[in-house]
Structure 1
Amino acid sequence: MFSIPNMSSTDDLTAKARIRDAALRLFGSAGVGRVSMQAIAAQAGVSPALIVHHFGSKDGLRRACDEHVVSMARGAPGRADAASRDAPGLAAMLEGAGAERTYLARALLDGSPAAADLFDEIVDTTTAWLAAGEQEGWVHPSEDPRARAAIYVSWLLAPLAFGAHVSRVLDDDITDFDAILRYSRHSVEMLTHGLFADERWLDAWDAVRDHRKRQAPR
């Protein structure tokens, strides 16, 4: 049986948050499977027994990290309209501490259920936001609005997953929020003005699609 030292409720809450924050850093940098309870305990300055006391297991600790980061990304209720309610919280988290940002990237890549739910929510609200833009005339119509929203969200979140590679290629740390703003303007520019000057690549894509349709068994 584990022996848990006596401590005040304030100390208990502080230790719990310290454990969670240590796990955020380690899980985000190395992945859940590569981090031991002993490593988290050493990072947090506590015993492995205290982690078990607060979270039950490493999986319980991972779920607590998921809930913490996802709640930050969702933001506070009422901070935005229904079509973009996730934007303020997600923007604040991306601008804030790097540990949460890194953890979210890892959770999205690893297929965390909570991160998957968050991604689905962001796609839903983005679909509504772009639909409102169509009605107001500042978004072009789409044959598949949900596919458009999913690809748009994937594009916006790509720096979370590929930030280290983009930083290396550009020789600039794009995890800094000012750099994110600077480089994300290129994305907005491409979305606003387009990248290609004519339709040759769209025509080429249509030609491949049409060829595959003709070759498909009937």
Structure 2
Amino acid sequence: MRSDLTARARIRDAALARFGADGIAGTSVRAIAGDAGVSAALVLHHFGSKEGLRQACDEHVLAAMKSGDEADLGELLSAATPARRYLARALLDGSESASALFDEIVTRTEAWLAAGETEGWVRPAADERARAVTYVSWMLAPLLLGDHVGRLLGGDPAETATAVRGARAGLEMLTHGLFADDRWLSAFRDVDVR
């Protein structure tokens, strides 16, 4: 419940929502303070600056991405709509912070996939870094192409129902494969050899 949150958490959650809706540059500390029901001075007291608040949002999103029990997936997805909107806007802003956030997501994903290889639920890859970068790019694409994806899937890709619909289709392809033969893989291997 919102009233159970500390002032710091209310401010962070207000920033996630406001940054997700208006972008980092389009959001003022005063607007975030108003959404959180606190003064702008309290926002600065807790976070130092708008950039400090953005860093706290990045850390919160990254903490939520820790791999957990598959049984908790529904709860995690339901709570993640503001984080998905935030990610979409934050990654498109072209800042060093956006680059650092993307890099950290890729690094964590690379470790997660490597652990999956060790545990036997991820197939080995010839290029583990490229696999992680591609996987993250595929997972984030619906958010970054939100208007187009939403138009064709019938809903906002940051909302749980549309996010789950797209993720199911993607995971089906990743789990069962898309192509019935290796003609395209062979063609790209041939390009790599030249």
Answer whether contact 1:37 1:48 (CA < 8 A) is retained.
yes
Where do 5+ consecutive residues of structure 2 fail to align? none
2:154/2:162 contact within 8 Å kept: no
Partner of 2:114: 127
> 1:143 offset after TM fit, Å?
2.2
Equivalent runs, 1:32-181 vs 2, <5 Å: 32-74=24-66, 79=68, 92-110=75-93, 111=98, 113-114=100-101, 116-133=103-120, 140-181=123-164
Q: Do the aligned residues in 2 keep the contact of 1:123 with 1:149 (CA within 8 Å)?
A: yes
Unmatched tracts of structure 1, length 5 or more = 1-10, 81-86, 214-218
User: Which stretch has the larger CA shift, 171-180 or 44-53?
Assistant: 171-180
* Cα deviations by residue, 1:38-95 (Å, 9 ceiling, x for unpaired): 22233233332222222221112212222222222226xxx55xxxxxx788875433
CA distance in 2, matches of 1:68, 1:193: 33
Equivalences, count: 187
Q: Percent identity?
A: 50
CA distance in 2, matches of 1:28, 1:198: 41
Match of 1:182 in 2: 165
State the shift of 1:141 in Å: 4.2
Q: TM-score, normalised by structure 1?
A: 0.67
- Classify 1:32/1:90 alpha carbon distance in 2 versus 1 (closer, same or farther; 3 Å): farther
Cα 1:185–1:174 change in 2 (3 A) is: same
Kindly state the Cα deviation for residue 148 of structure 1 after the two structures are TM-superposed: 2.2
Whether the 8 Å CA contact 1:108–1:116 is kept in 2: the answer is no
> Aligned-pair distance for 1:168?
0.9
Q: Which moved more, 1:160-169 or 1:89-98?
A: 89-98
Q: Quick check: which has more Rg, 1 or 2? A: 1
Residues of 1 paired with 2:71 and 2:53: CA distance? 26
Distance 1:91 1:108, change over 3 A: farther
Indicate whether 1:28 and 2:20 are aligned. Answer: yes
SS in 1 for 2:44: helix
Distance 1:60 1:34, change over 3 A: same
Distance in 1, matches of 2:110 and 2:9, equals 30
TM-score, scaled relative to structure 2: 0.74
